[in-house]
Structure 1
Amino acid sequence: MKWTFAPVSRAGWVAIHVEARKLIDTRSARWLQLVMASVGLVLIALAIGLTSARSATLELSVVLAGLALPGAVIAPLLAILAITSDWQHKDVVKFYAVQPKRSVILAAKYIAVTVFAVAVVLVDCVIALLVATVFSWAANVPLVYGAYGSSLWQVVCSVVVGSVSGAAVASALMSTPVAIVFVLAQSTVLDLLIGFIPNIPAAYLQSGTFSSFLSEGGEVIPAVSSALIWIVVPALIGAWRHAKRDVV
């Protein structure tokens, strides 16, 4: 069988552009970004304050972690809004009228979510570098780059995998509040509870296994199992539901 490269059509690029724009210009998305920025600034201030109080060196990876933590939590919520918001307000009717192929719109949502997650990480990286450099110069505190590269890669894996997983779960549930509650419980409660259940391979079932494998390495089979449970299966269910759901 001969495989050929099929470039993205103009309609596909338009759909990606529209979905990417909705991630930054809707009211709910702006509020989430404001919360993300505010929490990040508070965490940066705490990290710098502790460093100044101890008269220690300032590690750039610590500043990046302070900025990236809210990104890792809120990026999946933005992904959920990207997948479900159209259905909540019936906007999907006009989108499907313009682009009848539902798979194109759903794929555009996934691509937009992934690109946005990477953009969040890059912005975090630049802001962390600027803040750390300015504080180091102003307070005459040595700046240590240390494990900045590995810390950045961990943030990339956490944010991107979390966003894609959130989008997949949202596509399967197709309800904004239910998906948000489920994703928050998944990352804060379910993984912890699974780890306490005796006599089961917890790593195979926990959602964080796949992200940890990408950032730190480890066994392949548990990572594949985690990806199947929390990304692939919900994405397939979501694709089927989007194809079958009535938009009228």
Structure 2
Amino acid sequence: MTTAPTTTSTTPAGAATPVVLSKSAESALPTVAAVPSRIDGPRPTTGVPFARLIHVELRKMLDTRAGRWLLIGIGAVIAVALTIMFFNEGGQHAFGEYLQATTMPMALILPVVGILAVTSEWSQRTGLVTFGLEPRRARVGWAKTVAALLVGVAAFATSLVLAGIAHQGAVTFRGITPDWTMDGLVLLGAGGYVLLGIAQGLGFGMLLKNTPAAIVLFYILPTAWSILGSMVSWLRDAAVWLDMNQTMQPLFEGSLTGEQWAHLGTSVAVWVILPLTVGMWRLTRSEVK
């Protein structure tokens, strides 16, 4: 009886049996590109320039559908106000009155642009891109602040030009007596009204990071405080220090005492600097999803 030869396997127990592919099967497999160990080219030695961050934040504020429609709305309100003043009372209004008609819509609506510049990072989920390209969030926050103030300066300069054109137009076409006189404090109050408004909106946006909540509270809280401060007797003393509508009024009248400057500084610290400070702190620590 012939015994069959025994074959000893060299593959360890439990190990996978190697599969041998034919040449045609090997050629059908997808080829994997080799990953280079180092990408050629110069390495960046600095971060994103701060000027570029400001430019990007300006684009976010102005070069969007919401930003454009807000600017269109401001322009329409100003055009209506100047047209009414041009024909009302024969157009006999001083330059300061025309300036008030151009700055008020900007001071009331422009803060929404500052709010959207911050809340869009969370509502439209652009924060992953923004903070991925620039992980230092404090620099992004400062870029938003500088960009918002630049928008405010440009808006106030535009309001000066429009008020001047309207007043000169009334002088030329309506025959009114020109009145270009304006106190320096009044001019400071008009510019501060625009700049502080947009800075306050930016602070509320950083603090809440939610567009509807930031817009609603931005308009409701100061208004409610002004109403309570004027109606409730035991809040009147506090309102003198904390109501920006009251503390900025002497600016528009062209005279401020030392105590009134202290009132103005306190109200600005509470309604502008405090939201910006706490909002900047939250901006650097909030989770981005």
Cross-structure match for 2:115: 80
Cross-structure match for 2:55: 17
Q: CA deviation at 1:221?
A: 3.5
Cross-structure match for 2:20: none
Which of the numbers 157, 172, 177 marks the counterpart of 2:192? 157
Which of the numbers 101, 118, 139 marks the counterpart of 2:136? 101
Alpha-carbon separation, structure 2, partners of 1:155 and 1:205: 19
Closer, same or farther: CA 19–213 of 1 in aligned 2, 3 Å: farther
Alpha-carbon separation, structure 1, partners of 2:183 and 2:64: 33
Alpha-carbon separation, structure 2, partners of 1:135 and 1:213: 28
Alpha-carbon separation, structure 1, partners of 2:98 and 2:140: 37
Cross-structure match for 2:266: 225
Amino acid across the alignment from 1:202: A
Q: CA deviation at 1:149?
A: 4.9
Q: Is the 8 A contact 1:43 1:66 kept in 2?
A: yes
Equivalent residue of 2:284, what SS? helix
Which of the numbers 86, 89, 94 marks the counterpart of 1:48? 86
Alpha-carbon separation, structure 1, partners of 2:251 and 2:200: 14
Cross-structure match for 1:127: 162
Cross-structure match for 2:218: 183
Q: CA deviation at 1:185?
A: 1.4
Task: Indicate the structure (1 or 2) with the bigger Cα radius of gyration.
Answer: 2
Report the TM-score, using the length of structure 1 for normalisation: 0.87
Answer with 149-158 or 229-238: which moved more. Answer: 149-158
Q: CA deviation at 1:92?
A: 1.1
Percent same amino acid among aligned pairs?
A: 24
Q: Per-residue CA shift, 1:122-178, capped at 9, x if unaligned?
A: 011111111221232122222211327554322101001111111112211111111
Q: CA deviation at 1:199?
A: 2.0
Q: Is the 8 A contact 1:16 1:111 kept in 2?
A: yes
Alpha-carbon separation, structure 2, partners of 1:134 and 1:148: 22
Closer, same or farther: CA 47–65 of 1 in aligned 2, 3 Å: same
Q: How many residues align?
A: 237
Closer, same or farther: CA 143–51 of 1 in aligned 2, 3 Å: farther
Q: Is the 8 A contact 2:103 2:159 kept in 1?
A: yes
1:202-217 correspondence runs (5 A): 202-208=239-245, 211-212=248-249, 216-217=255-256
Q: Per-residue CA shift, 1:55-108, capped at 9, x if unaligned?
A: x73311111111111001011111111121121111011011111100000110
Alpha-carbon separation, structure 2, partners of 1:45 and 1:192: 31
Answer with 37-46 or 148-157: which moved more. Answer: 148-157
1:110 equivalenced with 2:145 (yes/no): yes
Q: Which structure's residues are more often helix, by fraction?
A: 1
Report the TM-score, using the length of structure 2 for normalisation: 0.76
Alpha-carbon separation, structure 2, partners of 1:244 and 1:41: 43
Closer, same or farther: CA 122–138 of 1 in aligned 2, 3 Å: same
Equivalent residue of 1:112, what SS? helix
Alpha-carbon separation, structure 1, partners of 2:82 and 2:223: 22
Amino acid across the alignment from 1:230: W
Cross-structure match for 2:174: 139
1:240 equivalenced with 2:281 (yes/no): yes
Q: CA deviation at 1:217?
A: 2.5
Alpha-carbon separation, structure 1, partners of 2:250 and 2:167: 29
Answer with 205-214 or 87-96: which moved more. Answer: 205-214
The runs of 5 or more residues in structure 1 that have no matched partner are 1-8
Q: Is the 8 A contact 2:57 2:144 kept in 1?
A: yes
